[in-house]
Copies of this chain bind each other. A is one copy, B any other.
Amino acid sequence: MAGSTIYDIAKKAGVSIATVSRVVNNSDGIADKTREKVLKVADELGYYPQAYAQGLARKKKNIIMVVVPVLSNYFFMEVLAGIQDEISNYNYDLNIFNVQSNGKDNMFPQVKNIIKRQWADGYLFISTHLRDTELEQLQDYDMPITLIDESYPGMDSVSVDNEEGIEKAMNYFLENGLTRIAIISAMKTSKPGRKRIEGYEKALNEAGVTVEEDLIVTGDSMYRDGFSEQNGYEAMIKLLELPNPPQACFCTSDIQAVGAMKAMEEKGMEIPIIGYDDITISNYIGLSTIRQPMYDMGTLATKKLMKRMKNREAEPEHKVFAPELILRSSTEKEIKEKA
């Protein structure tokens, strides 16, 4: 039973392999009796077409592959939920391929090989943060790719205006008279990391506030690229131990903010804090945050990819979601006191 092939079925059912193939694929033009007979044998022998043989013979694999560097992270999880729900509307299976980032700069070769190997009919890249020159190379392979949480002119993309998000958070603090604002960032050096810090500096500059390097911090723990409670915790400890601690804090992910909140509690010093993402938990722990529509990003990207697979010629589309400031208790008390 282990490895019955189309030949086994054909032989046992007394038909040709073409007929078996037709029955299994539900092609029409098959006599009912034949169909039944074949189906019966196929069931007895536990037959179902081998994915690899089928993929080779057809051009199509009926697989959408999600390519992602860090699987275990809340942002990814939410986006994935959207993808998953949307894809269930189509006749495609979902495969997730995890590329190791190792902090190093070796992701591109892996990604390139995935494309070359032709695993799937279409790909969703989540936060791979490849360079434009690299994405350009991938285009040569003429595979439908939709980017999530990043963008590049030549490919469909779904992202969020990060700068706007940061600005909203910063302005909220500034409007409430808080000027010594810290930023807790993961991976200061990465491309998106730098972008966020730039946004932070820009907002301060526009408000005529001098940027203090001391207030730009990150934790030391780099597990999950720094997107962890621990990292936020460490960062906040650093901030609170400063001779002159900040009046408010912006965090580049909710998960870090959770750690930061614990640090504040332990130190007995509470400053208003705003996170980034709006993971479901944030609503339950009263964390103010910049909401990214992660789930919607997943569904929309999937839709775009499906569309692209049908029409390869259309101009690439870029959806940029506007982030939303969600205020909860983590920004309340203290600011009111100041007012």
Contacts and interface: CB of A to CB of B under 8 A. Distances in A.
Contacts of A261: 284
A113 to B, nearest CB: 5
B281 A46 contact: no
Contacts of A48: 112-113, 116-117
Contact of A280 (B47, B80, B113, B229): B229
Interface string A42-63: 0000111111110110000100
Contacts of A229: 280-281, 283-284
Given A1-B141, A95-B95, A140-B2, A100 B72 contact: no
Contact of A117 (B50, B81, B97, B142): B50
Interface residues of A, number: 52
B46 A116 contact: yes
A118 interface: yes
A285 interface: yes
Interface in A186-236: 228-229, 233
A46 B84 contact: no
Interface string A225-259: 00011000100000000000000000000010011
Contact of A281 (B52, B94, B118, B281): B281
A190 B194 CA distance: 47
Contacts of A259: 284
Contact of A52 (B46, B56, B72, B95): B56
A93 B88 CA distance: 24
A71 interface: yes
Contacts of A112: 48
Interface in A65-102: 71-72, 77-78, 80-81, 84, 88, 93-98, 100
Interface of A: 1-3, 46-53, 55-56, 61, 71-72, 77-78, 80-81, 84, 88, 93-98, 100, 112-113, 116-119, 140-143, 228-229, 233, 255, 258-259, 261-262, 280-281, 283-285
21 contacts: A46-B116, A46-B141, A48-B112, A48-B117, A51-B117, A52-B53, A52-B61, A71-B80, A71-B81, A71-B84, A72-B81, A77-B77, A94-B97, A95-B97, A96-B98, A229-B281, A229-B284, A258-B281, A259-B284, A262-B285, A281-B281
